[in-house]
């Protein structure tokens, strides 16, 4: 919880004001921008696509229902470890990753230019986002998760930018040719930070105006990037390590280094990064498996599947869902386990970051369809709940506007300005 009031009481509704109505009015006025949503290309270009209410956490109907105005579609490519594949950091591995990245770029362009052009528009600048929002359309940006797809050719930085990428993270899970990943805390290090090629990539991104994303990077790499970059950097989907001690999160030293660049942490609503939980007992696992089998549910492994289950439950008839939830409640009493993270836990991370860094350096991300989701913000249709919780905690409309996209658009604008100076 916040240790200091986020705003003066004069900016908050009076006791007689309907808090729900007040929050809805704020939610409708501000630009709500989610900085990290994963996707499968088929969900954008096939006959069954995001114009329909799929069982995905994100799609246009859920976006509209939740009042989510914009997102970053994530061009994510995975990689294998060098220990698993001798070609992982060689031309064949790079080429496969590059081709997968192009498939995702193309899917976003096809969706926004052909399939749903009347509903959503691709943005390239901070001013584009404001223009598109004013026109009543949804906003689509693109970000690249994992610089592995660049290979060793700096020309691809320019190509990815030209295709629409407005941020790029040097790493994902596992070290690559650009930098060390956070996974080095248990695997050991390759570069002890950023590689020489990675330094060149940061400089190239600065010249283009592409934001450098430090999510997934090791602490050494993140701290070096904060020093190397001439423009503010972002953490597109990370949380606070002081509240959840996992290597994917940023500790206070990292957060303050990010603040010093003028950047922003986009706090992520990912269960495993918000709350540290103990593993379920064998008895609880067996009981859960039996309940899932009774209701013909797939075995739930990992946060992504758990999140999709919660989304699917919302489509069940009320009586069936009530029956399932009653049995699940009985199971939780008989075989207690750590409860998953809630919206309240998520906003605790926002509070912590705001107290440490100030309101201008904190934003919001979901990581939907990439494992994200917490109770009460489990898919895009529940986006308003975040604004409501912020209002409950005393944040003003101006502060909520900054958290929901204002800060990230400011950082994007700063990257654009510095790029023009560097090009001159």
Confidence of residue 55 (pLDDT cuts 50, 70, 90): confident
Residue 3 has pLDDT above 90, yes or no: no
Using the predicted structure, report yes or no on whether residue 308 has a pLDDT greater than 80.
Answer: no
> In angstroms, how far is the first alpha carbon of the chain from the final one?
46
CB-count exposure of residue 150 (10 Å: 0-12, 13-18, 19+): buried
The string of pLDDT tens digits covering residues 224-269 is: 999 999 999 999 999 999 999 999 999 999 999 999 999 999 999 9
The model's pTM:
0.91
Question: Which of 178-187, 220-229, 309-318 is predicted least confidently?
Answer: 309-318
Q: What is the dihedral of CA 62, 67, 72, 75, to 10 degrees?
A: 0
Instruction: Give which of 197, 167, 196 is closest to 73, Cα–Cα.
Output: 167
Element of type H or E holding 236 = strand 234-238
Fill in the DSSP letter of residue 205. H
pLDDT of residue 337: 85
Q: Of all helices (H) and strands (E), which one includes residue 265?
A: strand 264-268
Q: How many CB atoms lie within 10 A of CB 17?
A: 10
Q: How many CB atoms lie within 10 A of CB 274?
A: 28
| Segment of 82-86, 312-316, 400-404 carrying the highest mean pLDDT | 400-404
| 3-state SS class at 244 | coil
> What pLDDT score does 83 carry?
64
* Spans of all domains in the chain: 9-276+341-423, 278-338
Q: Which CATH superfamily is domain 9-276+341-423 in?
A: Metal-dependent hydrolases (3.20.20.140)
The per-residue pLDDT for range 179-207, each reduced to its tens digit, is 999 999 999 999 999 999 999 999 999 99
């Amino acid at each position: 919880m916040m240790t200091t009031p986020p705003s003066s009481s004069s900016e908050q509704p009076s006791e007689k004001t309907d808090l729900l109505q007040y929050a809805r009015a704020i939610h409708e006025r501000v630009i709500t921008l989610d900085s990290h949503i994963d996707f499968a290309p088929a969900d954008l270009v096939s006959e069954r696509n995001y114009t329909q209410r799929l069982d995905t956490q994100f799609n246009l109907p859920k976006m509209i229902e939740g009042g989510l105005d914009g997102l970053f579609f994530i061009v994510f490519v995975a990689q294998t470890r060098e220990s698993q594949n001798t070609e992982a950091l060689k031309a064949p591995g790079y080429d496969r990753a590059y081709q997968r990245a192009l498939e995702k770029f193309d899917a976003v362009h096809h969706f926004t230019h052909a399939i749903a052009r009347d509903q959503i528009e691709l943005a390239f600048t901070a001013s584009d986002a404001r223009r598109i929002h004013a026109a009543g359309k949804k906003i689509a940006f693109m970000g690249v998760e994992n610089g592995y797809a660049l290979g060793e050719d700096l020309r691809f930085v320019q190509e990815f930018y030209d295709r629409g990428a407005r941020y790029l993270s040097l790493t994902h899970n596992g070290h690559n040719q650009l930098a060390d990943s956070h996974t080095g805390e248990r695997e050991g290090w390759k570069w002890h930070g950023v590689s020489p090629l990675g330094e060149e990539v940061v400089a190239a991104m600065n010249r283009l105006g592409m934001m450098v994303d430090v999510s997934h990077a090791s602490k050494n790499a993140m701290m070096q990037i904060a020093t190397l970059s001439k423009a503010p950097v972002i953490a597109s989907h990370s949380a606070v390590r002081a509240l959840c001690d996992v290597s994917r999160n940023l500790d206070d030293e990292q957060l303050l280094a990010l603040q010093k660049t003028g950047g922003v942490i986009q706090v992520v609503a990912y269960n495993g990064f918000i709350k540290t939980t103990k593993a379920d007992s064998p008895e609880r696992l067996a009981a859960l498996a039996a309940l899932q089998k009774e209701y013909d549910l797939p075995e739930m492994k990992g946060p992504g599947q758990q999140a999709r289950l919660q989304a699917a439950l919302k489509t069940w008839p009320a009586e069936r869902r009530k029956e399932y939830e009653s049995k699940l409640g009985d199971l939780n009493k008989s075989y207690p386990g750590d409860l998953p993270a809630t919206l309240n836990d998520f906003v605790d991370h926002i509070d912590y970051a705001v107290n440490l860094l100030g309101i201008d350096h904190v934003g919001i991300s979901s990581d939907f369809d990439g494992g994200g989701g917490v109770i009460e913000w489990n898919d895009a249709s529940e986006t308003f709940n975040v604004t409501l919780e912020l209002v409950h905690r005393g944040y003003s409309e101006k502060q909520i506007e900054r958290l929901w996209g204002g800060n990230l658009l400011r950082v994007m604008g700063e990257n654009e300005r510095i790029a023009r100076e560097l090009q001159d």
